[in-house]
Structure 1
Amino acid sequence: MLVVKKFGGTSVGNKDRIMNVAKRCIEDYKKGNDVVVVLSAMGKMTDELIAKAKEINPNPSRREMDMLLTTGEQTSVSLMAMAMDSLGVPAVSLNAFQVAMHTTSVYSNARIKRIDTDRIMNELEQRKIVIVTGFQGVDQFDNYTTLGRGGSDTTAVALAAALHADACEIYTDVDGVYTADPRKVSEAKKLNEITYDEMLEMATLGAGVLHNRSVELAKKHGVALVVRSSLTTEEGTVVKESVKSRDNEISGVAGDDDAARIAVMGIEDTPGMAFKIFNVLAKKNVNVDMILQSVGHNDKKDISFTVKEEELDIAVKALEDYLPDSYYEEIKASKEVAKVSIIGKGLLNHYGMAARMFNALYKADVNIRMISTSEIRVTVLVNQEDMVKAMNAAHEEFEM
């Protein structure tokens, strides 16, 4: 049996936790299994590296940031190999270049294209535990790239798919997937199982337990995915294609304060204007989420949309640099917003779900600024200071 195990930064944050992870992996190894381990950077190392970079250059290039940030995972895997060696078990650490993990050339948000598995399989055949850096890859020009925050999950699932692993286990500091972030909603409950589609929406909308791209890959390749705690032996949450029927059609509430709102005001009400705006952003690799177009005044219209907070400055500068002043009257931007969502399989097939959510937010005195829906979720944009209140109100309304 071949098992891929991924451990997050808090799971390897210090010596004791590194030794704990090493022992857990060795347990599977001693059962006769082949074990591949994917690690994130230790604790807050990524944040510390970002802070160091900003001390040197407030606006560092993305290429150099990726070069810097990959050192975090390389530290983790080498220390883990040393830990396993000290426990008498052969192990080898490999970075993205040694694997090799081929990605696109989009720095800080690259996508995995393919993985060469020969090196890993050769090491496994020698009965070694293979420890691989998460979060990183190498592009066609041999530059290091990173996969975005939480990208180690994606590395683990991609490896599981490429190696045809029997299981992919994602270990974190919580013991599974909850109906909401238990740090923000005290009444949140752990789910025994959840569908790929629901988990993808929750991950995309702010649930930090899994990287959204990892869920996409798991669904595409049918990877058996389990989320559990690295600090306990409790059963976790299984992420799979379908689940048993639930009493409650809402599986979770998500909040995301890593959002920013841009409003392009006073646009000419003529064909092609929306394309011109979003084409500028696409060329800068800025992902746009919620979009609202409204009629303004004097045959003008306004277009509002959300982006990740870290991409706000890039997006605004691109619009100001590449859109002629005659196209719009004003660009407004705000970081003081957050998204709150309810997620559930077939949600929009059940009447009144959106109305119940809006009523719950009304009773909690939360103002809604934008609304977006899909078949399995309803998302609203609220003031950032109201996010936790809105999450709790929605969670209570649907009695999860």
Structure 2
Amino acid sequence: MGIQTNNTYTDARIRKISKERIQAELDKRNIIIVAGFQGINSFGDVTTLGRGGSDTSAVARAAAFHADFCQIYTDVDGVYTADPRVVPNAKKLPEITFADMLELASQGAQVLHNRSVELAKKYHVNMEVVSSLKNIPGTKVKEVIKLEKTNIGGVAKMDNFARFSLVGLEDCPGVAFKVFSLLSRHNVNVDIILQSVGRSGSKDISFTCPLSSLDDARRVLEENKDVLEYDSIEVDDNVAKISLVGAGMMTHVGVASDMFEALYDAGINIQMIATSEIRISVLVNKDDANRAIKVVHDKFFGNED
């Protein structure tokens, strides 16, 4: 009710919220129950908002009505420092920033979908993740929170992607542009990118992409081998990404080294590394993923039960 979308039927984007009907019922002090996850396009057809659509439609309506906050009822009782199914001693956060929550959601935390957090941040809608089964406080998601001793928000895992390596590319300007513009034209989304230092006139480029794009990426690269002029291509879908998230972590000395130390002590090999102002991500073997997230979590949050 009241959500107008574009014409992408199964992964639609919200264009407008019509609130007159709902407002009329609210003015009568009625309790309103509306469908989430769906909208209507310009042809009057029903569309769905894709993964996380219920959260996204709830936040969009809260923004349209300038609500004080939006509660998301789910099967967990809040946002944890890691997935408690993998890390039993994960701790529930009383509050978390939009930035940290968005990064955790983008890196594999499944509590909230990143589209809903993006909307909440853009339109200043404070959120709260609460349990639909327990009457206890949840986790508030907002712009500013009270600072704790640690600046780390949590650890997340993703294992639904593959690593590509193009070996023996020519070491000259424009090669990276050729590779990634080609992938972009075929709708292959790329995440971590690593380029080696050129030696003897050649270099290697490695990158990750979603498993759903693996076949398309391989086909495009193999069909254009003569254009890209690489020696060989390597593909590994037995990888996982472990991400440590926390606002301002890059300004705190020792965060990266502590993470790498935890993995070293556990005998876990790092294949690739990517960083941002609020995230450090490493690529590891998928078989090591659960152990990796546990040791990294214990390094920063302790291992007490």
Return the TM-score normalized by structure 2. Answer: 0.90
TM-fit CA distance, 1:266:
2.2
Secondary structure of the residue that 1:278 maps to in structure 2?
helix
Whole-Å Cα distance in 2 between the matches of residues 154 and 285 of structure 1? 23
Q: Does 1:312 align with 2:202?
A: no
TM-fit CA distance, 1:184:
0.3
Secondary structure of the residue that 1:133 maps to in structure 2?
coil
- Cα 1:387–1:130 change in 2 (3 A) is same
Whole-Å Cα distance in 1 between the matches of residues 164 and 236 of structure 2? 7
- Letter in structure 1 aligned against 2:158: D
- Letter in structure 1 aligned against 2:33: V
What are the within-5 Å matches in structure 2 for residues 214-233 of structure 1? Answer: 214-233=116-135
CA offsets per residue over residues 294-347 of structure 1, 9 Å max, x none?
A: 1465412221111222222233233344x3524123332222111101111211
Whole-Å Cα distance in 1 between the matches of residues 182 and 7 of structure 2? 20
- Cα 1:326–1:278 change in 2 (3 A) is closer
Q: Does 1:185 align with 2:87?
A: yes
Normalized per residue, the structure richer in helix is 1
Q: Whose RCO is larger (CA < 8 A, sep 6+)?
A: 2
- Which residue does 2:284 correspond to in 1? 382
1:201 to 92, 103, 123: 103
CA contact (8 A) 1:124 1:130 kept: no
Whole-Å Cα distance in 2 between the matches of residues 286 and 151 of structure 1? 23
- Which residue does 1:16 correspond to in 2? none
Whole-Å Cα distance in 2 between the matches of residues 362 and 355 of structure 1? 10
Whole-Å Cα distance in 2 between the matches of residues 273 and 389 of structure 1? 37
TM-fit CA distance, 1:271:
1.9
- Which residue does 1:276 correspond to in 2? 178
1:151 to 49, 53, 78: 53
- Cα 1:283–1:115 change in 2 (3 A) is farther
Whole-Å Cα distance in 2 between the matches of residues 343 and 213 of structure 1? 18
CA contact (8 A) 1:101 1:138 kept: yes
What are the within-5 Å matches in structure 2 for residues 321-332 of structure 1? Answer: 321=223, 323-327=224-228, 328-332=230-234
- Which residue does 1:393 correspond to in 2? 295
TM-fit CA distance, 1:389:
0.4
TM-fit CA distance, 1:122:
4.5
- Which residue does 1:358 correspond to in 2? 260
CA offsets per residue over residues 42-73 of structure 1, 9 Å max, x none?
A: xxxxxxxxxxxxxxxxxxxxxxxxxxxxxxxx
- Cα 1:140–1:307 change in 2 (3 A) is farther
CA contact (8 A) 2:52 2:113 kept: yes
Secondary structure of the residue that 2:33 maps to in structure 1?
strand
- Letter in structure 1 aligned against 2:233: I
- Cα 1:248–1:222 change in 2 (3 A) is same
TM-fit CA distance, 1:214:
1.2
Q: Does 1:129 align with 2:27?
A: no
Secondary structure of the residue that 1:132 maps to in structure 2?
coil
Structure 1 stretches lacking a partner, 5+ long: 1-93
CA contact (8 A) 1:258 1:309 kept: yes
- Letter in structure 1 aligned against 2:5: H
- Cα 1:262–1:176 change in 2 (3 A) is same
Secondary structure of the residue that 1:129 maps to in structure 2?
coil
Secondary structure of the residue that 1:168 maps to in structure 2?
strand
Secondary structure of the residue that 2:237 maps to in structure 1?
strand
- Cα 1:274–1:119 change in 2 (3 A) is farther
What are the within-5 Å matches in structure 2 for residues 61-210 of structure 1? Answer: 94=1, 99-103=2-6, 105=8, 109-122=11-24, 124-125=26-27, 127=30, 129-134=32-37, 136-138=38-40, 146-210=48-112
TM-fit CA distance, 1:104:
6.2
Whole-Å Cα distance in 2 between the matches of residues 223 and 195 of structure 1? 12
Structure 2 stretches lacking a partner, 5+ long: none
Whole-Å Cα distance in 2 between the matches of residues 141 and 288 of structure 1? 33
Return the TM-score normalized by structure 1. Answer: 0.69
TM-fit CA distance, 1:288:
1.6
TM-fit CA distance, 1:128:
5.1
Secondary structure of the residue that 2:108 maps to in structure 1?
coil
CA contact (8 A) 2:36 2:58 kept: no
TM-fit CA distance, 1:143:
6.3
1:340 to 215, 230, 242: 242
Whole-Å Cα distance in 1 between the matches of residues 39 and 209 of structure 2? 24
Q: Does 1:253 align with 2:155?
A: yes
Q: Following superposition, which runs of at least 4 residues in structure 1 exceed 6 angstroms of deviation? A: none
TM-fit CA distance, 1:158:
1.6
* Deviation larger for 256-265 or 173-182: 256-265
- Which residue does 2:143 correspond to in 1? 241
- Cα 1:273–1:180 change in 2 (3 A) is same
Secondary structure of the residue that 1:281 maps to in structure 2?
helix
Whole-Å Cα distance in 1 between the matches of residues 227 and 157 of structure 2? 37
Secondary structure of the residue that 2:71 maps to in structure 1?
strand
